[in-house]
Chains A and B, each alone.
Chain A
């Protein structure tokens, strides 16, 4: 029996400046050397608070935390504790201390008083461990988000920790950046480092050996991923959702009550599905029919009209004529029609945000044409303010842009700017706030900064909807939200859609795209690499893999099943569709 690395004993904690509600209540946890633990929970469940107790950034009000035999209350060992448990935080930019990569990695060991002559080796080793070797002299603010997070890991590793705690460290990364980070974690774990990952992404949690579920400041479940994800009711109750494989298993269990629900591995699921399909009937000879778009959004009827948005060979270069010149768009063609929902996907830095900012004239093309709702942006006399009233643009993490003290006033900014009277503005604000699920009467006088993260995001959306735009453009609308917040937002956008409105959004989350978009543009390196109806784009995994994008979970599972000889259609977009297709397949076989 090895000595535990971290022992958390019945701790409770209440933030001094908060509402007085405890953030942690009687939490106990044991971490052994070599563990890989995921701490999951919805926003506000207390998981970050727990993480901060693990290296004495917070000290509990009640109970004790022991790290390697030291009590975190013992200020004499604070350095020993923090050197033992390294931390990586959520926002890449906010944890880099120095302007040069090398200096930042050296910061921790310098603080520890590691001898001068040992520092260069420590820095080089740490950078090599995260694949940033030879980049020591680069300016830290010019790294990509993924590189910044790897730098943060290197900075922790340079202190030679026994354990690494990652607090939502992948939340701001694109799929390729996420994959690279998880890969580094796996390698560190194999080399003996204890890993504790705080996350609300269940597919990341599935990487761990043990999952701890927090809800409302308490641990409500703890166990192997298979055990925790087998309890769908519990997860839902905590505002979480099981990983796609487990969700599909649950859906199939509705049809076949004895279908195993503790599956996490796609291959194992494929085995089970094949077994259930093979049992009653024979192997069919005809391939599966593709799912048709019958129930989808009616976009075909309006296709004859002129497009609302037409980009023709659009080029845009930031800092033109300077050494930092950056050709963000290089000949983009794109169309959006009335009633459509269009997704723009692509790696970080591919030009998605630049493209969206052309839709309401924040940026104007350096060459090429942009026509939106009859406005021609190449025309210097184009009235962009009038255009902006009809094209609402919601930025990434719009909650950081709220500025009024009271929620109602913030939503009113747009209407008032466009010259509405107070009474007119009030009606618009009322409608917009009600539509995003923040009832006007209850929320208008609330302090903006006291709202929760999800509420703030919806409030920011209301601020744009209050202009009653025809086209709604959103940059990464669900980034950083927990599963519940994300579901709410997607439901809200689905509800907002109408035949006389259009939505254009960018996303790193393929599930968002699958659930919302009629058509998809893949942007890479400032150009449209591929485009087409959502089903068609996701039927070409190669198009996505090329840019590290991956498939929506349901589509990926369908591909796995198909590869195993189970003739399901590979162009499904949701788990419900996939489950139905499998069930239908089974029914057909029974008839045969």
Chain B
């Protein structure tokens, strides 16, 4: 049934807040943001299986504490599994490992699957899972408003060195305000054009010129009406005495409790340990063990 041909757009909601009222939900959003940021940076820099496993355990503990069903997080990873498999195969084909030290698991024509490949794929998978689960945890436990306020308050100290923290947070807020408006507007435009004979369903596939020519009547009025709305909003902000971040006061204030700091300390300690694990030979031992087992 094509009843919802144009309705897809209505589901556009950024953020996936899932209120369970846990301690993590109630924690200071600045602390949560900071923890999330540390996790992304640390995991991006990490290249050891042991370290990633440790980080993964940390995120799992977070999920349990937040009382978010693990199924929610799993559903985010599932669609990626086939792609990861594909990536593993690509790795085996594209980057041949002519390293004599490594164990060859399987060889067919020019494809060789070595232990090194297996470790590389495992690393990729772990890294990916930690990032997905970590950021999901943040978005499950923090509303978008808390996120923008949190960003602003977190970055406020940096304002002294010229970083436009308030401006960026307000920009994000305006962006979040406009996404649902854009969705409504696009739905209206698509419907109006379908009423005049435009056919959005058909013509998928190769004919990209036709696809693009169909996008023009949609995007041009969408952008123009968005700019028109922007002019209105600028006036409304000027009328309400907006002149930049200087001298502003704030309705929303965050106060970090001892438990919040404890949480942050835990995250820092675990991530530091995980990073340290990359420096130890634990990984080398791990994949030597795998190779031995294979033989």
Contacts and interface: CB of A to CB of B under 8 A. Distances in A.
State yes or no: do A and B touch (Cβ within 8 Å).
yes
B233 A94 contact: yes
A95 B249 contact: no
Contacts of B224: 449
Interface stretch (A116-124, A295-303, A510-518): A116-124
Contacts of A91: 229, 232
Interface in A63-91: 78-79, 82-83, 86-87, 89-91
A152 B7 CA distance: 29
A89 B234 CA distance: 12
Contacts of B243: 78-79, 111
A319 B180 CA distance: 15
B238 interface: yes
B285 interface: no
Interface of B: prevailing SS = helix
B189 interface: yes
B174 A97 contact: yes
B239 interface: yes
B239 A401 contact: no
A310 to B, nearest CB: 19
Interface in B204-260: 216-218, 220-221, 224-225, 228-229, 232-233, 235-243, 247-253
A433 interface: no
Interface in A423-469: 449, 463-464, 467
B251 A57 contact: no
Given A93-B181, A100-B145, A107 B199 contact: no
Contacts of A417: 196-199
Contact of A115 (B2, B218, B249): B249
A247 interface: no
Interface string B163-191: 00000001001101100110001001101
Nearest to A357: B191
Contacts of A380: 1-2
Contacts of A389: 197
B242 A98 contact: no
B6 interface: yes
A119 B3 contact: no
A398 interface: yes
Contact of B7 (A90, A319, A385): A319
A395 B249 contact: no
Interface in A356-414: 357, 360, 362-366, 380, 385, 388-389, 392-393, 395-396, 398, 400-404, 413-414
Nearest to B244: A111
Contact of B191 (A94, A112, A395, A418): A395
B1 to A, nearest CB: 7
A103 interface: yes
B4 to A, nearest CB: 8
B196 A99 contact: no
B278 interface: no
B292 interface: no
A37 interface: no
A95 B242 contact: no
A319 B7 CA distance: 7
B26 interface: no
B248 A388 contact: no
B216 A103 contact: no
A43 interface: no
B101 interface: no
Interface in B241-290: 241-243, 247-253
A155 interface: yes
A318 B3 CA distance: 10
Interface centre among B6, B11, B238 (most CB of A within 10 A): B238
A99 to B, nearest CB: 5
Given A99-B144, A322-B11, A449-B224, A106 B251 contact: yes
B195 interface: yes
A515 B63 CA distance: 63
Nearest to B220: A403
A478 interface: no
B41 interface: no
Nearest to B10: A319
B169 to A, nearest CB: 11
B232 A364 contact: no
A380 B238 CA distance: 52
Closest 3 CB pairs of A and B: A417-B197, A94-B232, A95-B236
Interface of A: 52, 55, 57, 78-79, 82-83, 86-87, 89-91, 93-100, 102-103, 106-116, 119-120, 123, 140-141, 152, 155-156, 159, 316, 318-320, 322, 324, 357, 360, 362-366, 380, 385, 388-389, 392-393, 395-396, 398, 400-404, 413-414, 417-418, 449, 463-464, 467
Interface of B: 1-7, 10-11, 144-145, 148, 170, 173-174, 176-177, 180-181, 185, 188-189, 191-199, 216-218, 220-221, 224-225, 228-229, 232-233, 235-243, 247-253
